[in-house]
Every structure is written in C-alpha cells, then in structure tokens.
Amino acid sequence: MYPPYFLKGFLDPTLYFCYSGVMKTYTPRLLAKEAGLKKYLGQPCIHGHTGERWVRNNTCVECHKKTKRVKVYAKRGRPRKHELFVGPPKPKRVLFKPSTDIEFWIKRSKTKNRTRAARKELSVEDYKKLIVTHCPLLGIELTYTKFEGSRTPENYATLDKIDPSKGYVQGNVQIVSFRANTLKNSASIEELKLLIANWEKLIL
C-alpha cells in the first residue's frame, strides 16, 4: 500500500521509486490512476480554474463541464431545455406571375432599381386601378410593350407623382406618357404657368 499522501496527489517530483523493476517518476495523475480514482488535483488550467482534473484524459473538470453541456443540447433527439415558441402561422406569399404586356409593365415598374423602395407601398392591385389607354395630360395613346434600345418612346407609359412632395403613395400617382412626364418632371403648377407666360412673351 502507498502512504496516504500518495493518494492525495502530493508528491515531490524529484523523488524516484522503483516499480516492477522499472525506474518511474510518480506524478499525481499516475498515483490517482493506480489508486482507482477518477479525479486528481493538478495544475490550474489556462482559464484559471482549480487544479482538479480528470484522470483518463488530463482535462480540466470545469472546462469539461462547459463543453459537455453544449454537446448534450446539440445532440439530435434530446428534449429541448425550453419549449419552442410557436406563433401564429404566417400567411402564404402570393407570387405575381405576369402574362400580358400590362402585367409585365407593372412588374418592371415595381422592380425599377432607382425607385424600388419608393414604390414599395403600391400593390399590384393599385397599379391595375391606374391603367389607362391614353395619356391624361397630352391625350396621346399609351403603349405598355417593352421597347428595344436605350431611347424611351414618347408614348411609353410611365408612373408619375401628381404632387412631387408626397411621394409614390396611393392617391398621388397616375400613369402618363414619357413625354408628359419629362415635361412635367418635378415642377409645380405655378412654375409651369410662369414658364408658359414668360415663353409667350418671348414668342409673341
């Protein structure tokens, strides 16, 4: 039998003992293993925990507890620590699948890169209520077909803000021709009247 201080793990590392004819240095881990213990008192770990370690793999007991807790809850099939909150079912997203020239124009107008965020409040149904055949400002017939090239036709349908200060909201938008939208731009009625009056003075 070993002395009691061997079982506690306190040993001077400079002492050597002969065991089974082989010269060995008895460390606290080796003494605890031969005594059949599962833990022993060693040096503190890098995380500052006490020196209590496992005999089988020399790992810190406190560090092993934390890593083991994560692995237990990560395993499949184990019950959850807390009940999973299940809220009301989310409504199914309705995808808009265009089939006509007007519907394709609505999709192009809603997904326009420069004004996508500004036109977010307008729905497809709001667009369908605005569809007209002729421009309300110039009276020319509108076209909703996608054009080729970089030059926009003058009779191409565009979405316009009636009052530029209110933005693209329901009740403040209309569909006009590209020509009318270019002429109107962001000008107010007073500015357009002043423009026409001064222009008439120069011409007449």
- 91-141: pLDDT as tens digits: 777 778 888 999 999 988 888 766 777 777 888 889 999 999 999 999 999
Name the helix (H) or strand (E) containing 104.
helix 101-110
Q: For 21, what's the count of Cα atoms within 13 Å in the CB-facing half-sphere? A: 0
Distance CA 83, CA 109 (A): 45
3-state secondary structure of 173: strand
Do 45 and 105 fall into the same domain?
no
113 and 26 part of one domain = no
CA 148, CA 163: separation in Å to the nearest integer?
31
Residue 82 located in a structural domain? no
Distance separating alpha carbons of residues 147 and 154, to the nearest angstrom: 11
Do 112 and 65 share a domain, yes or no? no
| pLDDT single digits (tens) 146-184 | 988 889 999 999 999 888 888 888 888 999 999 999 998
Residue at which a domain ends, from 69, 84, 115? 69
pLDDT at 79: 65
143 shares a domain with 198: yes
* Any domain includes 180: yes
Cα(139)–Cα(47) distance, rounded to whole angstroms?
80
Tokens (6 digits) for 68: 């083991």
Torsion from C-alpha of 165, 168, 170, 173, nearest 10 degrees: 80
> What are the tens digits of pLDDT across the range 17-28?
444 444 556 788
pTM higher than 0.85: no
In a domain, 29, yes or no: yes
Per-residue pLDDT at 7 exceeds 50 = no
Task: Assess whether 51 and 125 both reside in one domain.
Answer: no
Which residue range is the domain that position 126 belongs to? 101-203
With residue 177 as reference, give the H or E element that holds it. strand 173-177
Residue 75 within a domain: no
Q: What is the CA radius of gyration of the chain?
A: 41
Which residue would you say has higher pLDDT here, 131 or 15?
131
157 sits in which H/E element: strand 157-161
Same domain as 106, residue 57: no
Statement to judge: residues 119 and 44 lie in one domain: no
Task: State the burial class of residue 67 (Cβ atoms within 10 Å of its Cβ: 0-12, 13-18, 19+).
Answer: exposed
Together in a domain, 65 and 111: no
Residue that finishes a domain, picked among 27, 52, 69? 69
Length of the chain, please? 204
User: 182 and 105, same structural domain?
Assistant: yes
The structural domain count of the chain equals 2
The pair of three-digit structure tokens given for residue 64, joined into one six-digit string: 């092993």
pLDDT digits (tens, 9 = 90+) for 47-90: 888 888 889 888 888 887 776 454 444 456 666 666 666 667 77
146 plus 62 within the same structural domain = no
Is position 110 within any domain? yes
pLDDT of residue 6: 42
At 84 the pLDDT is 63
Q: What is the mean pLDDT of residues 4-13?
A: 42
In a domain, 88, yes or no: no
